[in-house]
Amino acid sequence: MSAYVLILDDDADVATAAQLLLRRRYGHVATLNDPAGLPALLARGVPEVVLLDLNFTPGCINGAEGLALLDVLRAQANPPAVIAMTAYADVPLAVEALKRGAGDFITKPWDNARLIAAVDQALARREAVRGGAGGSPELMGESRAMRELKALIASVAPTEANVMVLGENGVGKELVARAIHAASRRAAGTLLAVDMGALPESTFESELFGHRKGSFTDAKADRAGRFQAARGGSLFLDEIGNMPLAAQAKLLTALERREVTPIGADKPESIDVRIISATNLEEARLFDPSVFRADLLFRLNTIVIRVPPLRERREDVPLLLQHYLKLYEAQYERPVRSLSASAMDALLRHDWPGNVRALRHACERAVILGQGAEYAINDFGLAAAAVADMPRAAAAVPAAAAGLASAGVGVESRATDAGGDLTLDAIERAAIAATLAQFNGNISHAAKTLGISRAALYRKLGKHGI
């Protein structure tokens, strides 16, 4: 995963340790120990994610310096996702940082897996926000399906009911959650998002409920959990369908009692959050007791919002194309070009298995690579022939793979027998498409079956235009 990450911390050793950890995963990781150098650094380019220490002056632990820097970062034209870092697990300070625009917080010393997960989630949230108009998380579309969706959000948002958002990958489930929170009575509080699918079961309680210093080997300081940090606001539990059953039982207990007990604490703490959850699982699978607990489901799905896939609201495609082409033309300083009639027709007929996310990536590709006076279908990486061949290629994968694995059988002869394109790229594309179809678009399950990470699968989806 390629990303520009900045670590802003006055402790050079801490910054270097984080840099060495993250550089292997994200590539461009810079460090800055003196906040005075931030304006010059931002002038050269705004990072995608900033790990921001909240205290710089020795002896100062109130976080005022970090909060001031957070305001500077959030004021940028294309602001980075910010993760607040502090050695002092002060819940009010963490909540204030979240209210001022930080997307997450971690305490030092950190767990390496937790830090990487925090950066991954920050990048995903930033991607979701970029999906909105002009950088704001906004649900775009004027089709009947979208009008009904917006009306439902407006009706549900002012209540305190828990909401479950259902929909395929890329439809904008997090945007729905943010719209609900923004129109709720909790809008002044924070909306804290947690990717439940990426949360290790071993750290589940610590992440959600917090822990006390000394409660386990690496618990070197008190740590607030997500329920405490989101107090007075909303907690968005994404990928809820990927939670192990044991973790589901713990979450159910917290919701039933409206309290959590941090690991190592003697007394429970009351919670004051509204739960918004989301999953790309088919709704019928949520009623399978081997997949999801029925008692937890009934706690979460007081209101169910189903976000329509793009293929069911094709009339919104021209508006989305216009928006994203204009957005990327401005971002990459490319000339304004119109869309050819044949390209528009092909894009309208395309099923967009990756939904709005896939359309956005296709527009970005077209703006970067397009050379003609008008955008052509080939610019979008969705050539009509390739789209038409996808089902045939997917069907050929099992036979082709078996043939290639057989001893003494050459690749050329098998390619002839299969009667299709068996280049490595074509086989990979078809394998991914077939696996996604098998799991109804569930990224986590498809990635596990393919033996790659979710991040790697997202990159391959973009590469192949799936």
pLDDT digits (tens, 9 = 90+) for 182-233: 889 998 888 999 988 878 888 889 889 988 888 887 777 788 889 998 999 9
pLDDT tens-place string over residues 64-104: 888 999 989 988 877 898 999 877 556 677 778 887 888 88
Burial 279-302 (b: 16+ CB within 10 A, else e): bbbbeeebeeeebbbeebbebbbe
In a domain, 235, yes or no: yes
Is 404 in the same domain as 315? no
Residues 24 and 90 in one domain: yes
pLDDT (0 to 100) of residue 220: 76
* pLDDT per residue as tens digits for the range 375-434: 999 999 984 434 444 444 344 444 434 433 333 333 333 333 334 455 667 778 888 888
**Residue 118 included in any domain:** no
Q: Cis peptide leading into 109, omega within 30 of 0?
A: yes
Say if CB 30 and CB 76 are below 8 A apart: no
> Do 289 and 141 fall within a single domain?
yes
Structural domain ending residue among the three candidates 360, 380, 400: 380
For 328-342, how does the pLDDT look when each residue is reduced to its tens digit (9 = 90+)? 998 889 999 999 999
In a shared domain, residues 321 and 215:
no
What is the C-alpha separation between 81 and 78, in angstroms, rounded? Answer: 10
Claim to verify: residue 228 and residue 162 sit in the same structural domain: yes
Rounded Cα–Cα distance for residues 39 and 51 (Å)? 16
Position 156 pLDDT exceeds 50: yes
Domain assignment of residue 77, given as a range: 1-110
Reported as a single tens digit per residue, the pLDDT across 278-291 is: 999 999 999 999 99
CATH of residue 182's domain is 3.40.50.300
Q: Are residues 408 and 330 in the same domain?
A: no
* Separation between Cα atoms, residue 103 and residue 190, nearest integer Å: 9
Alpha carbon distance 45, 216 (integer Å): 41
- pLDDT for 118 equals 83
The tokens of 201 are what?
Answer: 């079961």
The answer to whether the CB of 377 falls within 8 A of the CB of 343 is yes
Boundary of a domain, candidates 325, 346, 380: 380
> Which amino acid is it at 417?
D
**Distance (Å, rounded) from C-alpha 65 to C-alpha 70?**
9
* 416 occurs within a structural domain: yes
| Total domains in the fold of the chain | 4
Output the domain CATH number for residue 77: 3.40.50.2300
- Is 116 part of any domain? no
pLDDT interval class at 295 (50, 70, 90) = very high
Residue 129: predicted pLDDT: 58
Domain boundary among 380, 399, 418: 380
CB atoms within 10 A of CB 419: 9
Calpha distance 25→39 (Å, rounded): 26
Q: Do 387 and 350 meet the contact criterion of CB atoms below 8 Å apart?
A: yes
Residues 103, 136: one domain? no
Give the pLDDT band of residue 296 (cuts 50, 70, 90).
very high
Between 111 and 128, where is the model more confident? 111
Q: Are residues 361 and 400 in the same domain?
A: no
Quick check: 188 and 236 in contact, CB under 8 A?
no
Of the candidates 389, 403, 385, 390, which has an alpha carbon nearest to the alpha carbon of residue 432? Answer: 390
Closest CA to 47 of 81, 17, 15: 81
In the prediction, which pLDDT does 455 show? 66
Residue 54 covered by a domain: yes
Question: Of the candidates 128, 334, 326, 88, which has an alpha carbon nearest to the alpha carbon of residue 220?
Answer: 88
User: Does residue 166 sit in the same domain as residue 21?
Assistant: no
Q: Is 191 inside any structural domain? A: yes
Range ranked top by mean pLDDT from 102-106, 197-201, 323-327, 452-456? 323-327
Number of residues that this document lists for the chain: 466
Residues 264 and 211 in one domain: yes
Please report whether residue 115 resides in a domain.
no
Q: Dihedral angle at the C-alpha atoms of 264, 268, 270, 274, nearest 10 degrees? A: 60
CATH number at residue 364: 1.10.8.60
**Other CB atoms within 10 Å distance of the CB of residue 113:** 12
Instruction: Confirm whether 20 is domain-assigned.
Output: yes
The type of residue at 7 is I
Q: Are 166 and 293 in the same domain?
A: yes
3-state SS of the chain?
Answer: CCEEEEEECCCHHHHHHHHHHHHHHHEEEEEECCHHHHHHHHHHCCCCEEEEECCCCCCCCCCHHHHHHHHHHHCCCCCCEEEEEECCCCHHHHHHHHHCCCCEEEECCCCHHHHHHHHHHHHHHHHHHHCCHHHCCCCCCCCHHHHHHHHHHHHHCCCCCCEEEECCCCCCHHHHHHHHHHCCCCCCCCEEEEEHHHCCHHHHHHHHHEECCCCCCCCCCCEECHHHHCCCCEEEEECHHHCCHHHHHHHHHHHHHCEECCECCCCCEECCCEEEEEECCCHHHHCCCCCCCHHHHHHHCCEEEECCCHHHCHHHHHHHHHHHHHHHHHHCCCCCCEECHHHHHHHHHCCCCCHHHHHHHHHHHHHHHCCCCEECHHHHCCCHHHHHHHHHHHHHHHHHHHHHHCCCCCHHHHHHHHCCCCCHHHHHHHHHHHHHHHCCCCHHHHHHHHCCCHHHHHHHHHHHCC
d(CA 454, CA 461): 10
**DSSP β-bridge partners for residue 8:** 32, 52
Distance, C-alpha 431 to centroid of its chain: 23
CA distance 436 to 358: 14
Residues 173 and 263 in one domain: yes
User: 13-61: per-residue pLDDT in tens?
Assistant: 889 999 999 988 888 899 999 999 999 999 888 899 999 998 888 777 7
C-beta neighbour count of 112 within 10 angstroms: 12
